[in-house]
A = this chain, B = another copy of it.
């Protein structure tokens, strides 16, 4: 371990192995009972394929649990990039908050250990990571309805539309401590793709765009404007990392996991990030044969997610009882116009965050499997080029795409 990583591990912290994970779980009666039977006969697999954590699945006689433990460094890069364990605390906070609003979508937590930076939670089965399924070409009929519901509920109920000013300030205050995770977003999403950052990488066939974007004043201004929004618009509790790798699905069910990047930010942030990942899945389909219909399904799912969010948020708006837009001021006669104005700002943010997410996934450090799994570099470059040009247009011409319909029309035009 590097010195930095050592410093980040408090006394009592110890990264678990499958063996010590079983011993840990066995010591906590509630968890041991849930797994069931003799711990020496439990199985334990480490399945963490993300960038930051250990994830163990422990199976026993009567069930299974997931044990997720933060590592004091970025797994993707190694011990040279230390990352505070306290992110487990914010993940735990956010899981609890989101679970309140969407208990059918957020996994249930059984146990949290601050020192070990460890959460034991519901084992989701037969759920699989959505991104893999989108690459494989599978469809999920309820997906958009579930996602739109998650977004509307978690964003509305943590905002000034549902909370008093006091409740809102008290709720947001703890998240201001999630500094290291926000710093990753600040650097990797908003800054590094726009200069020759050492960790940037891109497919060879789009070198021209990578270079051009670094000289593109209107684009850089638009990206920095989104960074300013990220830093200065604590409207609601955002998941913070809502891509298709943070979503688990079955044919009928859908769960949102891994909110360790949770922060108070713009209502449009999670929506934009999520749509960006659908858009990349869409453009990546061109590398496969016979995927014209499936492309359409992805696009219609993105559109329906956005529209479900809007319609459910609109319904919730009618019941607003928070600090903002109080009905004593904004009466029935004003309500629709007020919602329109607010939705315009949300939509503008959605487009902006969608744009920067696409660009950083193609030109920055952390790429997505949708494109990376395209072995043919020429094909990959062609898909990525379309996505990049779409993202640039979104960012610099937000006002031209005021509703989800224009957004999807622009995608189809690429």
Of residues 173 through 202 on chain A, the ones whose CB sits less than 8 Å from some CB of chain B are 173, 176-177, 179, 182-183, 186, 190-191, 194-195
Q: How far is the CA of A306 from the CA of B179 in the complex (A)?
A: 34
CB closest residue in chain B, given A235: B232
- Nearest to A190 among chain B residues (CB) is B329
Contact between chains at A323 and B224 (CB < 8 Å): no
- Taken together as a complex, chains A and B put the C-alpha atoms of A286 and B115 apart, in Å, by 68
CB distance from A151 to the nearest CB of B (A): 18
Stretch from A138-146, A241-249, A292-300, A333-341 contacting the other chain: A333-341
- Cα separation A173 to B195 with both chains bound (whole Å): 31
**A209 to B: closest C-beta gap in Å:** 17
Asked if A384 lies at the interface with its beta carbon under 8 angstroms from chain B, I say: no
Contact status A329-B194, CB under 8 Å = yes
Chain A residue total in the interface (Cβ 8 A):
46
Q: Is the CB of B160 within 8 A of A232?
A: yes
**In the assembled complex, which residues on chain B have CB atoms less than 8 Å from the CB atom of A338?**
220-221, 224
For the complex of A and B, the 10 pairs showing the least CB-CB separation, nearest first, are A169-B176, A217-B334, A194-B329, A166-B179, A232-B235, A195-B328, A173-B176, A160-B231, A191-B329, A221-B338
Given A160-B228, A191-B328, 4 more A-B residue pairs with CB atoms under 8 Å apart are A169-B177, A217-B333, A221-B334, A224-B324
Chain A interface (Cβ < 8 Å from any Cβ of B): 160, 165-166, 168-170, 172-173, 176-177, 179, 182-183, 186, 190-191, 194-195, 215, 217-218, 220-221, 223-225, 227-228, 231-235, 323-326, 328-330, 333-334, 337-338, 341-342
